[in-house]
Amino acid sequence: MTALALDASNEREAKALGRLRSEEIAWLGTIGRDGFPHAVPVWFLWQDDVAYVFCQPGSAKVKNLRENPRAMLHLEAGDDGEQLHVLQGTVELSPEPTVDWLDRLGGAYLAKYAGGIERLGWTNDRMWADYSTVVIFRPHKLIAW
């Protein structure tokens, strides 16, 4: 499948880009081992037409993605319930742990989530250690209105 590059000059895609850059929570949908959908809220970083999600290596979503790399990333519907942005795509699980990605993503990730990490009472080091698997989501299709 061809990766999707969202076009900022397209009104629908520009709106999706804005939300992908600003929303704190997305739902990552995977296909469970039992064949049923498995959707969980995740923190994510949108950069260069890719969503990066730091995950616990033993989580169900990571286990599911090892079996089947097809996934979806769904944003909340917005305050008015009328903003739909769903991306279908495939995932790569990085062989490098989160700490190896910090030079590339750490500053942007902390700019977005430092407050959330602090509210959890965690240190950054704990975040990187516990959420050591990097999920790289590459979209192929945008469903939006």
DSSP per-residue codes, 24-52: SEEEEEEE-TTSSEEEEEEE-EEETTEEE
- State the Cα–Cα distance between residues 17 and 12, nearest whole angstrom: 9
| Structure token digits, residue 3 | 């990766």
pLDDT digits (tens, 9 = 90+) for 6-46: 989 999 899 999 999 999 999 999 999 999 999 999 999 99
pLDDT of residue 81: 67
Q: Give how far Cα 135 sits from Cα of 79, 82, 83, 86, 118, Å.
A: 28, 28, 25, 17, 23
List, in order of start, the domains of the chain with CATH numbers.
11-144 (2.30.110.10)
User: How many whole angstroms from its chain centre is CA 87?
Assistant: 10
- State the Cα–Cα distance between residues 98 and 56, nearest whole angstrom: 10
pTM (global) more than 0.95: no
Sign of CA dihedral 33, 59, 57, 111: positive
* Residue ranges of the chain with per-residue pLDDT less than 70: 1, 81
pLDDT of residue 96: 93
pLDDT of residue 80: 72
